[in-house]
Structure formats: C-alpha cells, structure tokens
Amino acid sequence: MLKQRLMWIVWPAFLMAGVIEMLVFSMVDPEDMHWFGHQLEFSRQGIYTVSFFVFWLVTSLSGALTTLLALSPFEVNRCPLPQDDRPDGCPKQGAS
C-alpha cells in the first residue's frame, strides 16, 4: 500500500513539475536569473535541471500532505506491530 501511495504522490508531481517548468521558462530566461544579487553560475541546462527538481519536490510535498490528510482515523491510529510484539499503549484493534 505504501508503494501505491508513493506513486499517487510522485507521478502526478512529476507531470506537474514538467508543466510548471514549461510555464516558468516560457516567460523567464535562465541566464537573466539572479540569486541574492549575483548571477547564477549554472548553464541553461543546469538551471532547467535544478528548477525541475525543485518544482518536483514542492509538488510532491503538496501531494504528500494531501495524502496524509486523506488518511482515515483507523489508518492513523492503528498499531503497525503484530499482536504479540505490541507495547501496552498500542491499540488492540487493527492487527496487521
């Protein structure tokens, strides 16, 4: 289930990072970008690459937060340990 949820987050974020990349760099020239008053020392492709991964990270975090907020109370509160290995405070229901 974890792999499936990870793909629910990472794949749409990858697609949206590509769309954001196209939108941003259709209006901004990478060689005109400055960071704290200094021109960036990367090539155009370097700036495209770094910004794609930044966009991917931001959209992945957004998707991860949405997935976290969509969890049911049962999924959040269940004990992930087998019945025999549970500490005293671990809920009795929801044995895996």
Q: Which residues lie closer than 8 Å to 91 by C-beta, 6 or more apart? A: 77, 78, 79
* Residue at 2: amino acid letter: L
Over its length of 96 residues, how does the chain's per-residue pLDDT go in tens digits? Answer: 778 888 999 999 999 999 999 999 999 888 887 788 888 788 889 889 999 999 999 999 999 999 888 888 877 777 777 777 777 777 665 444
pTM (predicted TM-score): 0.72
